[in-house]
Amino acid sequence: MKHTYDQEADAIYITLGSEPYAYGIDLDDQRRIDYSSYHQEIGIELLSVSGGVDLYGLPFVKGVAGILNNYNISTYRLISSDRVISATGTASFSFGILLGSGTDKRQDKYERGIKKELTGVS
């Protein structure tokens, strides 16, 4: 798998095939899969990778995880995303299992292999 890592843009593009681009599908705000006109995966675009990458729904997971781990980028798999209603409002929590982690010196959001992230309060 060929790939391009732009540390300044905090993004990676992984090339899976040489077919011409026909369309892309966004899995979320940070992950997109590009397809050929034959519906073959030809590329994966990953944004904001320094915060870790959710591997769920990505093709060729082992290869993608290997590329990310070579750059010390954490990988995880989202296992739950629930809304919790309390007296103070509604909060969304996401929990994932940490699959690989980097060894860089930035502050880590992971505790005991589980990613805990408050994604919004209304």
Over residues 25-58, the pLDDT tens digits come to: 999 999 999 999 999 999 999 999 999 999 999 9
Please tell me the total count of domains within the chain: 1
Q: How far apart are CA 49 and CA 5, in angstroms?
A: 10
What was the pLDDT predicted at 20? Answer: 96
Q: Which domain, by its residues, includes 42?
A: 2-121
| Residue (of 84, 74, 79) closest to 119 by Cα position | 84
Rounded Cα distance, 90 and 41, in Å: 37
> What is the pTM assigned to this prediction?
0.67
